């Protein structure tokens, strides 16, 4: 058996106001034992302009929230596409055995999402669960999903060689399917978008 602690992995990039709104919403979850891993892949200029107030917000807001700056740059100072690395940092630093992935713009619509995901993970093995984001689509996308931490570590984390928006879901689905994982849609886990989709780097 695994314990019920949930680590919510929240990657963000150039959208501090969205991330803060999401954090405040996640903290309303009725699950008793959880943490929020904020993994910040913002551009350096944006980070310098906003990091102090964002870190202060986290430090004073709730001890459940942890912050990591994950961005990397080449010799010319150009930042790479760091979504996979941000998520992987959250996995590495997580202390919960149940992981819930929520991109910064995706927030729970019901207060029992963490409980539902946690209960499902504890009852099964080698299943990657994903919820409903309002469109009732039963196809797997990892930006609102949950999996057992030990299983994603053993299966190989997120692929950091994917260097642009799109392609990550297909790679994950194929690689995990070859390792005999199944993917289960949980329509009772609901989320809504805090802003429109438009790529990882959009504000």
Question: Using an 8 Å Cβ cutoff, are 192 and 134 in contact?
Answer: yes
Q: Average of pLDDT values for 50-69?
A: 84
| Position 169 pLDDT exceeds 90 | yes
* pTM, to two decimals: 0.93
Closest residue by Cα to residue 148 from 186, 188, 84, 100: 100
Alpha carbon distances (Å) from 97 to 9, 39, 61, 122, 151: 12, 18, 24, 9, 10
pLDDT at 1: 65
Name the percent of the chain lying above pLDDT 70.
Answer: 96
| Position 203 pLDDT exceeds 50 | no
Q: Average of pLDDT values for 59-82?
A: 89
pLDDT at 118: 97
pLDDT at 198: 55
pLDDT at 197: 65
Higher-pLDDT residue of 16 and 2 is 16
Q: pLDDT digits over 74-122, tens only?
A: 988 889 999 999 999 999 999 999 999 999 999 999 999 999 999 999 9
Alpha carbon distances (Å) from 70 to 5, 30, 65, 78, 110: 24, 29, 16, 14, 29
C-beta neighbour count of 190 within 10 angstroms: 17
The span from the CA of 116 to the CA of 17, in Å, is 27
Banded pLDDT at 53 (limits 50, 70, 90):
confident
Q: pLDDT digits over 8-47, tens only?
A: 999 999 999 999 999 999 999 999 999 999 999 999 888 8
| Position 199 pLDDT exceeds 80 | no
Question: Using an 8 Å Cβ cutoff, are 24 and 52 in contact?
Answer: no
The residues, ordered by sequence, that sit 6+ positions from 66 with a Cβ below 8 Å of its Cβ are 35, 36, 37, 38, 58, 93
Name the percent of the chain lying above pLDDT 90.
Answer: 75
């Amino acid at each position: 058996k695994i314990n019920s602690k949930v680590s919510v992995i929240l990657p963000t990039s150039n959208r501090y106001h969205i991330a803060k709104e999401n954090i405040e919403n996640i903290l309303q979850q009725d699950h008793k034992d959880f943490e929020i891993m904020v993994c910040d892949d913002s551009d350096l200029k944006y980070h310098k302009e906003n990091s102090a107030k964002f870190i202060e917000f986290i430090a004073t807001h709730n001890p459940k929230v942890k912050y990591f700056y994950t961005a990397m740059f080449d010799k010319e100072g150009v930042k790479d596409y760091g979504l996979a690395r941000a998520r992987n940092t959250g996995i590495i630093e997580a202390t919960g055995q149940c992981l819930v992935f929520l991109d910064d713009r995706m927030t729970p619509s019901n207060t029992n999402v963490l409980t539902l995901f946690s209960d499902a993970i504890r009852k099964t093995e080698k299943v990657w669960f994903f919820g409903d984001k309002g469109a009732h689509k039963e196809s797997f996308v990892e930006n609102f999903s949950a999996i057992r931490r030990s299983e994603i570590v053993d299966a190989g984390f997120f692929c950091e060689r994917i260097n642009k928006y799109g392609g990550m879901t297909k790679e994950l689905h194929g690689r995990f399917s070859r390792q005999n994982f199944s993917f289960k849609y949980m329509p009772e886990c609901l989320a809504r978008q805090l802003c429109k989709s438009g790529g990882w780097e959009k504000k």
